[in-house]
Amino acid sequence: MKTSNIICGLALAAAGLISSCKKDYLNIVPTDRILGSAVLADSMLFQDYIINRYMSIRLQDKEGEGTNPGFGRGFEYGLWSSISDESIYNNDDNTWVIQQGQMAPENTGIAGTIWGRSYRSIRECNFALNNIDSVPMSDGLKKKLRAELRFIRAFRYHDLIRNYGGVVLMGDKEYSLSDNLTNPDMFKRSTIKECIDYAAGELTAAAADLPLKNDGSWLLGRATKGAALALKARLLLYAASPLYNAGSWQAAADAAKAVMELSQYSIDNDYAKLFLSPNSNEIIFERVYAVSARHVCLEISNGPNGYNGWAGNTPLQNLVDAYEMSNGKPISDPASGYDPQNPYANRDARFYASILYNGAPYRNSTIQVFTPGGKDSKDGPSNWNTTKTGYYLRKFMDDKNPIDNPWDVAGLQPWIYMRYAEVLLNYAEAENEAVGPNASVYEAINQIRQRASVKQPPLTPGLSQSEMREAIRRERQVELAFEEHRFYDVRRWKIADVTENTPAYGIDVTVSNGVYKYTRKVALANRAFKTKHYWLPIPRAEIQASNNQLEQNFGY
């Protein structure tokens, strides 16, 4: 620019006002962000990038409270359990749309974010996988990191498959904005089997190179060999299940067995404390938290109104009824000793560890959901926050955390993605389906029932295969309550059209002359489930973005 130079010179000479006429005046180097090339040039930065892949982005309000979400849903205000028959979210907040069978591609409630979140993470993993060769670091480390990335990517597919069925497999493709994003090939959904095979294969490969355990050089919170194998076992169990019909029970049993044979994990003695700290030997893979990087403060968001809690996720009678008596008999068994007017006496110890019920001891007091006058009922303070079901959540609650003003203090419980009890249950189920209720099935289940703090009697010997199936299903329902299993289990077993069409029951407790009267009630009307709801709908915006080339799930 000649003229600019002349004028610039003139300016300098005439007024001396111009502070700078430097040629690179317009070229500013940012100080608050770095280039991708810098990330690839430095092995520490590259590892910093990989670490964040255990999380993905927030895609909805009230998601990722505290820190960005990881896999699945995890600890949020509305738990995933509140779109199943385990609990209801007291104040709706986009959960009832699913409970009441109104879920549609345009209305996915809290369940609409897994699609986008997973694919974003897959692309990010692919960037790292495609470029890791150029990063200056040892081959040994590269091998481990490659395995870690493939684990994360497979976990994203796990999230996609169990919600949407057969999805689009990306391989190592890393789309960019300059690609043709309307290319029909981009939207071809693979079959469930193809997806499972791909993800399981990735996990097999990842397991080969991942460390056996977390230690000082592979800190707690990173995936291990056991994590990869356990996730694979879960996927293969799903694949063998009736809804998927894309694998064999034997393969599922073998996969679970492979985790058991690692001999790295054991059943924790204390069922209640297991969920409060990240260090249990039962935990296979988890998300850990810290002050300034927390999740939802569970105690205030789920606590009873009499304690200034907000009664968020309130357990349903449907789940309460699944807990056996402490004598090992289901309450439906006339010999169980169950008294509907004294319903909480002598139940499975896990009931007391998971659910707050009328009369339950809690924080130097007892729960009072009775009317008139109960402090945790509508007659208590903040009555808009009272439970509709007659129960409050106990599991995960850490009594060391304050209910009032917990911000910056609470929200540190680990979210357990996989624990050993699940592996045993996976094994038992697969083995029972593959070969029948042999001793190893009993052994697996009884290990869980015999947990020191639980001590449920062993299963009655001599169960038929289908009796064993029922027992295992009940055991899963109880043992894994609120842990994001039930929603998927009832679907893969194809019993959701029964269980999810059962009304959402709660309990009404009234007191008169010191005597409690328990009456079942409907806690949330119009609960409904339609066949199409076996899979989630792909969000409407996504179908439209694909110009209707992406096939929607059946029925939507």
Residue 391 in contact with another protein, rule: CB under 8 A: no
Residue 94 in contact with another protein, rule: CB under 8 A: yes
Q: Which residue has the tokens 């079959």?
A: 191
Q: 244, 192 in Cβ contact below 8 A?
A: yes
Q: Candidates 111-119, 324-332, 358-366, 421-429 — which segment interacts with another protein by CB under 8 A?
A: 111-119
Beta bridge partners of 218: 215
Q: Candidates 141-149, 248-256, 376-384, 453-461 — which segment interacts with another protein by CB under 8 A?
A: 376-384
Which CB atom, from 121 or from 326, has the smaller least distance to another protein?
121
Choosing from 10, 208, 212, 452, the residue that interacts with another protein (CB under 8 A) is: 10
Distance CA 397, CA 275 (A): 8
CB of 303 to another protein, least distance (A): 11
Residue 398 in contact with another protein, rule: CB under 8 A: no
Site for another protein in 496-525 (CB under 8 A): 508, 521-525
Residue 335 in contact with another protein, rule: CB under 8 A: no
- Tokens at 158, concatenated: 């796990």
User: Amino acid letter at 7?
Assistant: I
Distance CA 61, CA 311 (A): 19
Residue 177 in contact with another protein, rule: CB under 8 A: yes
Site for another protein in 34-73 (CB under 8 A): 34-36, 38-39, 45, 48-49, 51-52, 54-55, 57-61, 63, 67-68
Q: Beta strand pairing status for 355-356 and 365-366?
A: unpaired
Residue 378 in contact with another protein, rule: CB under 8 A: yes
Distance CA 238, CA 74 (A): 20
Residue 184 in contact with another protein, rule: CB under 8 A: no
Which CB atom, from 121 or from 432, has the smaller least distance to another protein?
121
Residue 124 in contact with another protein, rule: CB under 8 A: yes
Site for another protein in 427-486 (CB under 8 A): none
Beta bridge partners of 371: 510
Q: Beta strand pairing status for 87-89 and 313-315?
A: antiparallel
Distance CA 255, CA 268 (A): 22
Through-space distance between the first and last CA atoms of the chain, rounded to whole angstroms: 61
Residue 541 in contact with another protein, rule: CB under 8 A: yes
Which helix H or strand E contains 512, and what residues bound it? strand 504-512
Burial class (CB in 10 A: 0-12, 13-18, 19+), 506: buried
CB of 235 to another protein, least distance (A): 20
CB of 378 to another protein, least distance (A): 6
- Tokens at 5, concatenated: 């130079």
CB of 133 to another protein, least distance (A): 19
Write the CB contacts of 242 (distance below 8 Å, at least 6 apart in sequence).
492, 493, 494
Site for another protein in 204-263 (CB under 8 A): 214, 219-222
CB of 196 to another protein, least distance (A): 18
Site for another protein in 265-284 (CB under 8 A): 278
Q: 228, 203 in Cβ contact below 8 A?
A: yes
CB of 7 to another protein, least distance (A): 4
CB of 57 to another protein, least distance (A): 4
- Tokens at 100, concatenated: 């009441």
Which CB atom, from 21 or from 345, has the smaller least distance to another protein?
21
